[in-house]
Amino acid sequence: MFAAFLIFPLPRAGWRRARHWLALPVGAGIFYHDTWLPGIESIRAQGSQVFSFTLDYWAELLGRFINWEMVGAGFVLLTLYLFIAQWLRFTPWILLALLWLSPQVSNPFASSKGASEHALNTFREETRSSVLPMEEQLDQSAPPTNENLNAYLDDFYREEQERLVHFPESLPAQATPFDVLIINVCSLAWHDVEASGLSGHPVWSHFDIRFNRFNSATSYSGPSSIRLLRASCGQTSHQGLYVTAPKQCLLFENLAQLGFAKQVAMDHSGDFGNYLTGLQQYAGLDVTPMDKKGLAHDLASFDGEPIYRGDALFDRWLNERTQSQAARNVTFFNLIALHDGNRYVASRQIAPYKARLKTLLDQLDDFMTTLEQSGRKVAVVMVPEHGAALTGDKMQMAGLRDIPSPSITQVPVGVALLGTKAPHEATRNVDTPSSFLAVSYQSD
C-alpha cells in the first residue's frame, strides 16, 4: 500500500512535493516497526522512567545507538544510487522485489499451514492425556505461529498453577537456628561473567550448589524480584505478577511462619520505577529496609542516585544481626552496582562493567569468608535479577534488554551453606534447566 501511494501519478507538482514530505514520517514509522528496537507499548510503559536518566547516561546511550559503520555504508550506497540513477530507473526493480517478498511477509507460514494445524491438534491431545516434560510436549518441527506459541504458553501456565512448595507448619523444637540470605543482584548473567573473564573468580568455589541453566524468566528488575519472592508457587504471566498472590506463594511469609524474622537491605533507595513499593504490595516484603545512613558510596546510578558500597552494607547487616535477639533471620539483599549507566562519583566517568563486577565478587567473597569464620550458620542464596546485555547481539544493542534472550535470562545462581562443621566438598553443578521454584525448595 505504501509503495502504491508513492508511485501513484499525481498531476500537480505541489501535490507530489506534499506526498514526499508526508512519506518521510510514514516511512520512518514503517522502518522503526521492522527493527528490533523497543515497541511503542514498551516505550509508553517505561516513558516516565526514561526521563529520569541523567544527561551523561543519555549521551552514553546515543553513542551506542549510532553505528558509524552502518552510517558509512549507507552514505556509500546513497552515493552509488545518486550516480547510477542518472541512467537507470530503480522503481521497476524495487516493485519487482516488493512483489516477490510480499507473499513471504504477509504469511510466512502459508506453505506449512496443514502441517501447523496437524501439529497443534496433536500437541493438544498429548497435553490432555498425560503430563510430559515441556520439551516433549511441543512439536519442535511445528512452525512458530502465534497460534502454536500461544497454545504452548497457555499450557505451560496451566501446569505451573499446580506447582507449590509445601512448607512445614512449624520447625522441630530441637531444630538448629540459622539465617537465610537471598542476594538479588541486578545485571549479572553467565554471558556477562564470561565476557568479563571472571568465570574463575574464587567466589564461585564458596557455593555448595550452582545452577548453570537457571532462567530468570524476565529482563527487568521489578518483575524478576517479584518472581523470586513468589518462588513457592509456579510461574505466572507478567500481568499475573501485579495482582495479589495467595499467601502460600510468598517465600518470606512461609519462612516468617517458621520463626524467621524478615529483613531487607538494599544499596539504593528503591524509588526508581516504584521498585520497593511493588515488592511490598505484590511480594509480601512488608518491612522497612535497613538504614543506610553514613554508608560510603563510590558510584552513582543512571538517575544520579547514590549506590552504597556492598561491603559496607554487608558489614552493617552483620553488626545489626549480631546484636539482634532473633533466633532466625531471612534477609533480602538487592544490589544494583552492576546496572548499566553507573558512574564514579568522584570523576563522573563511566564505571567499566568488568571493574564493577570484580569489586562486587570480591566483596561477596570476603563477606562469605567472614560468615564462615564467624561460625554463624547461614544459607546464602545468590539469585541475579537478569543480565546486563553487556555485548548485545544481532537483535539488541549493548545494554538494551527489551527482548529477554537467553544471554540475558540465564543467570548464575548459587547456594552456600556456611557455618556447618562438615568439610566443604566440591561444588555440585546443576546443569538441567531450572528457575525460581528451585530456590524455594532449597529454602524449605
- Nearest alpha carbon to residue 366 among 177, 292, 374, 383: 374
**How many other CB atoms are there within 10 angstroms of residue 269's CB atom?**
15
What cell does 246 get?
Answer: 495467595
Q: What is the mean pLDDT of residues 322-326?
A: 94
Pairing between β-strand 328-335 and β-strand 179-185 as defined by DSSP bridges: parallel
Tell me, yes or no, whether 174 lies in a domain.
no
The structural domain count of the chain equals 3
List pLDDT tens digits, range 161-217.
899 999 998 999 889 999 999 999 999 999 999 999 999 999 999 999 999 999 999
> How far is Cα 188 from Cα 177, in angstroms, rounded to an integer?
31
Beta bridge partners of 414: 210, 382
Give yes or no for a contact between 357 and 299, defined as CB atoms under 8 angstroms apart: no
Boundaries of domain holding 244: 179-443
Span of 36-50, 198-212, 353-367, 409-423 with lowest mean pLDDT = 36-50
Same domain assignment for residues 243 and 370: yes
Give yes or no for a contact between 342 and 356, defined as CB atoms under 8 angstroms apart: yes
Tell me, yes or no, whether 293 lies in a domain.
yes
> Whole-number mean pLDDT of the chain?
86
pLDDT for res 135:
47
Tell me, yes or no, whether 335 lies in a domain.
yes
Same domain assignment for residues 338 and 206: yes
pLDDT for res 24:
86
Same domain assignment for residues 278 and 427: yes
Does pTM top 0.85 for this prediction? Answer: no
Give the helix ranges, DSSP H, for 85-235: 91-106, 113-129, 134-137, 146-161, 190-195, 221-229
Same domain assignment for residues 280 and 136: no
Give the helix ranges, DSSP H, for 335-401: 353-374
Q: How far is CA 397 from the centre of its chain?
A: 15
Rounded to 5 degrees, what are φ and ψ at 338?
-95, 0
Same domain assignment for residues 346 and 399: yes
What cell does 352 get?
Answer: 567499566
List pLDDT tens digits, range 379-399.
999 999 999 999 888 788 888
Same domain assignment for residues 93 and 120: no
Tell me, yes or no, whether 142 lies in a domain.
yes
pLDDT for res 14:
84
Which comes out higher in pLDDT, residue 307 or 49? 307
Same domain assignment for residues 216 and 99: no
CA distances from 136 to 141, 181, 435 (A): 12, 36, 19
Name the pLDDT band for 106 (thresholds 50, 70, 90).
low
Q: What is the mean pLDDT of residues 133-156?
A: 73
Give the helix ranges, DSSP H, for 11-65: 13-34, 40-50, 55-65
> How far is Cα 308 from Cα 296, in angstroms, rounded to an integer?
6
Beta bridge partners of 350: 343
The answer on pLDDT for 111 being more than 70 is: no
Same domain assignment for residues 436 and 347: yes
Tell me, yes or no, whether 167 lies in a domain.
no
pLDDT for res 379:
96
Same domain assignment for residues 278 and 377: yes
List pLDDT tens digits, range 41-100.
776 666 666 767 778 877 787 777 777 888 899 999 999 988 998 888 887 887 788 788
Tell me, yes or no, whether 168 lies in a domain.
no
Same domain assignment for residues 130 and 272: no
Same domain assignment for residues 155 and 183: no
- Nearest alpha carbon to residue 343 among 50, 57, 59: 57
The answer on pLDDT for 15 being more than 70 is: yes
- The CATH number given to whatever domain includes residue 209 is 3.40.720.10
